[in-house]
Structure 1
Amino acid sequence: MIVKTENLSREFVRGKNQFYAVDHVNLEVEEKELVAIMGQSGSGKSTLFHMLTGILKPTEGKITVLDHEIEKMNDRQLSVLRGGDLGYIMQGKNLLQNLTVMENILLPLSLGKNRKPDKERITYLTELLGIQNMLSEYPANLSGGEQRRVAIARTFAQNPKLVVADEPTSSLDMENSEIIMKYFQKMAKEGTTILVSTHDREFANYADRCLWMKKGKLEKRELE
C-alpha cells in the first residue's frame, strides 16, 4: 500500500464555529494507481493533500505514505522525503522567484537524495511541457500556466515513487491539460503512483478510479 489513511481528520475554528475540513477520511492507494479525487472548491481536497505530504498536521487519525508515518516525521525528514520519493505539485504559483526555471526544476534534487540530474529526463520533460525555451527565465516572466508546467516538470524530474498533484491542470488550456493527463497515465503504467485532486472531469477518462469529496468526506460514487 503506497498511501493509507485511517480516520484522518483536520478541524478548524472559524469565529465561534468549529468544522472539519477533512472528516474522518479512510483512503487507500495501491502501487501504480492513478487515482483522481473530484470535488468542488472548499470540499477539503487541498487540506487532505497538505496532510498527506506533511505540510499540515492532522487533528486526529493516522497517515502512512511510502511506509512512513507522516504525522510523526519532523520537518527535515519531510523535506528529504519530498525531495526524493514523494513529489508534491501544489496549487497556485509555488516556484521560487529568485531562481530560474532550470534552477527551480533542479531544486528538489539538491534537497533530497543528492542525486545527479538525469539530463535526458529533464530534456524530455521540458520539451513535452513546452518550456524548453524558458529555462533561463525567472518565474515573474512566465504566465500562470507556464509556471504550472514548470512545477510539474520539477516534480517528475526527481523521479518520485508517489506524486500528489493538487489541481495540476488549473491555469492550463485544453491542449496542455490533455498532455498532462496522458503523461500522468503513462507514468502510472510505468510504476509511479499518482494521486490527483481536480475539478476537471476529463480526468475521469484517464484515472484508474475516481473518488468524490464533499464537505470533508470522501466517498466512491457516480460524479455529480
Structure 2
Amino acid sequence: MTNEHITTYIERSVLATLRALIPNREVRSHSEARQVAEHQAIRLLELHGIEDGPVPVEFIADLPKIEIEMVDAPVSGASFWNGSNWIIQLNKHESYSRQRFTLAHEYKHIVDHNRADALYIGTRDVSPAEQAEQAADYFAGCLLVPKKLLKRAYYGGMQRTADLAAHFQVSEAAMTVRLRQTGIAEPAPRCTPRSAPFSRSWQYRMNHRTQTQGV
C-alpha cells in the first residue's frame, strides 16, 4: 500500500474512529456524554498530529465528504447530508473566531449522527436537544482549546483572558468558559445566570426531524 493510499485510508477512517468512541449503549448522564465529546476531540487532534495552538480547525474542511459553505444566514451555522456529502454552513458575517467555533460545533453534530438518541436522553431540567447542543459546544471547546495546551500557555505566563483568546483564536467568551471547564478559573457564583453564548438547539431540532442518512 502506497503512502497516498495509507493517507486516504486514515482520512476516510476519521468519522468511524470518532463514532467508535461512543458507547454501544444508552448514555445515562450528561457528564459521560461530555467525556465522550472530550475523548473525541483529543483523538481528532491525535489523528492530525496537532500538538500546539492555535488549532488549525480548517483541517475539517479537508476531510472526505465534508464541504464548507459561507452563507448569509440569521444563525451561526448548520450541518446536513445532501445525499453525497456533509455540508457545514457558516455565517459569513460573523467573526473568524466565531466561525472556527461553529465549524467544530457542527462537526460534532455530524459525528453524533444516528447516535444522538442514545447519547442525549435528557433530564427533568434539560431536554435531549439542549444536551446535544451543550455537548457540541464542549467538543468545540476541547478541540480548539485543548486542556493540555491551555494549561501550558496559562502556567507559562499567558494569563490574561484576552491574550489566551487571541492565541487560540477563539472569542473571549469561549475562553472564559474553557478556563472554568478546565479548573484554571473559579466557576461563576451560583447566583449569576449562566450564559449560553453558543447554544444552537434549533440545529439539533432540524437534524433530528429530517433524520438524514449519511456516511
Q: Verify same fold: TM over 0.5.
A: no
Q: Kindly indicate which of the two structures has a greater share of residues assigned to strand.
A: 1
Instruction: Work out which structure has the larger RCO, using CA pairs closer than 8 Å and 6 or more positions apart in sequence.
Output: 1
Superposition TM-score tier, normalisation by shorter sequence: under 0.3
**Please, what TM-score do these two structures have when normalized by structure 2?**
0.28
Q: Kindly indicate which of the two structures has a greater share of residues assigned to helix.
A: 2
